[in-house]
Structure 1
């Protein structure tokens, strides 16, 4: 290994001599090429990232000179194993798989044995490119990568500490990594838990308790929160052991550390954004009528959407907030897990034609209610009530908000409550993600449009249904349904110019079913302009770019969608799209775990199974690939390479060829 990026840039020659780059930007360019891997880096992107302040021609000249400096550096040492290659558009680093620490680290993190995991842990000296300041453009690209490797290190140290059998060396390596991670972030609970477990293994109960207290104090000081339930449960088990008078060392290592309690609380704390951030929890349905549950959910969704239109406000997506539906949860826990400062909760009571909406806004860290109120009116005035609640919440967060900004937060999808009823019922069916659910959803959306011909949200949702019908080969008349998608999305483009979700749904369907990438991207872009907090819009943009454009940009957009909606029930779709982006970029070892995770979450999603099969095949995991093909054929016996285009959609030809050959290698019949 001659290249180190974990903990700063270090490059040595074959003879062990350190190599020094001519300039800081040259070293950053080399690091960017290492991070890009075999897929390489576009020349124009590299120039824009590193020399953004220069003119276009000057940036190109600077890039050319930096590449000359790098190429001179390696031949001068006689080390020909590492070299820069490229064409008119792209440059890449050609090097053996064991030349860079991050490449070895990534492979080690996928292992299951203690020796391999410990070897990977040894490589994580500090954060990726630690101590390297970088220009704004490259930092925007580097920040998510740095965060990703930190997350991998935290997962790695916890996995090591949980192994039933851990040798002395592996245990020491685990302890050292945990200490490094705590030094970098005193609030890193996974690292604290690893240290607590190690002290427990060694019989040092007092040291384990001291580590817990250090963790608790750091969380209180830095975030004003309590330790996660998983951390508390771990310490409670050690306390119980101590009370029984059984030394932890005599009991041996924990065989089932991840109890049900820990697994349930395994959601990591998410950092709170600098700007005001809020999650709108599911309201309680006080009507006593289960049939009205959809209406209560719709009230919450509309409040969430109204708040999301305010550009300065970070709003957690409806789908993530609804992960807490039916649960009695503490506001502080919700805020920690979703990474928000404020939580809105409330209730909706509907009796006949009268509607009462009650809500309260809580500042989670302080446990203080900032605002509470209730609103009553006729059911026909539901939209005015929703806007009034949203307006009051925004006013409580920022009294300086001007009325003009509140006007942009208002959105009334229809003036017809009956049409809206049908739309909400359709969405409830669609979210089941089954064939039967889609068959129930479509008539509801069409009824909503019949009652209100300008109801863009209903038409966008109908087009989204056809997306899923095609993805799972449930279409009965492909030509007719494709034409219907074109018609629906055309209407959305006209009547839904101010509806981000409708435009996002329309863009997804237009790109996948019809194959009009440019028009689909324009709809997704418009959705992002309308509502930069819309997870659905970022997801749509990411999907389109993964199939037609730059996979790295796709991954960035899909990552943004996940951040806005970390508990989204559509996470499996985002994971599949991210996996496909890594697949087309040639990062098969990154792609297959994501695709398999998506398939575990939604085992009937055929696209996820196919991407898992293709990624495993290209990663050399043919047994795993074969299993995914077998599962796909069990669900869709008529699927073959010959009809693959019917489900793959209109993706870039080069991507399709790669996908086709990978599935052939996986064993999909001709």
Structure 2
């Protein structure tokens, strides 16, 4: 960007995009492109010119337009949507083109006839949450147009927009105020909305076969079958059966309507394209209530073993979706009014605090999990999470792990297992607490292995299992388990703890440089993680870097002044082999930890 051509100004930005363009092109590439070209020529460009707008750039299936007046921008968008709706009355439902439009007024940067800045970014994000055929505008735009446009404006409240730091108040122009001719593009418009289950719920729609080869439908359908089956192993998720989801195959859908008809909070949609011996699979997770995209990714591979590729993609997609759903549920719980104190909301609030990794947050999380148990004495997850709070507090040096605490963890874990004997999350959490606080390594290992058997896509089970393998004296197996956990959930808040677990495994294998490096990466995000400081100091000392090791022990002692070599075994895990504990003690002794 050349600085001599840069200027700033306040402008109204209109961002438009075709809803479901990939699906439309997949159905009829030439016909869709011809329709788009005709719409631009006969409707889009003339309306923009009429309302004094400037097309900054066309994006293939959309456009970015600048206006001096936000009133002009909104009136232009309104007339475009009316015109498109009228033209759609003569177009088959599955081939209709519908635009999403977002409008914002703000400061922009102009450089070489292009525009940049938050004013542009916000307009684009507003377009992303608009309904097909709908218009979303920012609160700033609403203040300028209130009383000056004929359309009915509906308050959507504060919305979280992707890559925008703070939630923004958003308004939408009601579709029936744009045109009474807009016909919804969903298959069963007469069906009443189904009530949502208490917990998170998801439907996996049939993936679009973008290969132009109908014979490849089997691969796309098989992918959906695999993902549906894998997600159904998460007992916390309510997953719509394949037969219901496949009623939408080959039909234009409105995600919000799918959510209402199937009674789900989230929808996964995707596409498969095969060409020249390669396969590309795209998946995206959408909040059915708002239409917002929560997660999206692309997977590429060869056709050498198409079913192996299917397994790999399934694992990656499921590993990403389950945490994304939980994150979205946590955010949803935060937005609930404080008087809403049902067990599930309490549980989610506790989970949000648990992931903050400090003593005060951990104490609050434990209190919330106990409150959830009071509300629902049969809530297996709440018992398991409460047990894990004690384990985290011990690992991070916030409690010493007395006999009373060990007895309470045992009680919580046993109750979680009784209530969730076939639930992988309950089993893994119980095993983690039993192993680390109650020191019942044999029972814990069995519970975690069963959790992995029940749900091989559960990153948390692999993470807990990694620590158990370290304590059992099997560091090679531990490295494999931590690697699997990191692959399944690369954005997990516990990523630092996963790296620290792997660092311990490398330490016990005598790979001190690798151990120190992994611990250093984990400590970048949280320099006060005591397990990370312990293994970093021990590894650096054993690798012949005493100065670095001494600095890490000094920080460790500030956080935990009572720590000594003699009581080290109280904060470390239940190592089965005495030589492992002795090596750890020697490393920290060399690093300067007092006897």
**Larger helix proportion, structure 1 or 2?**
1
Bucket of the pairwise TM-score, normalised by the shorter protein:
0.3 to 0.5
- The structure where strand makes up a greater share of residues is 2
TM-score normalised by the chain length of structure 2 = 0.47
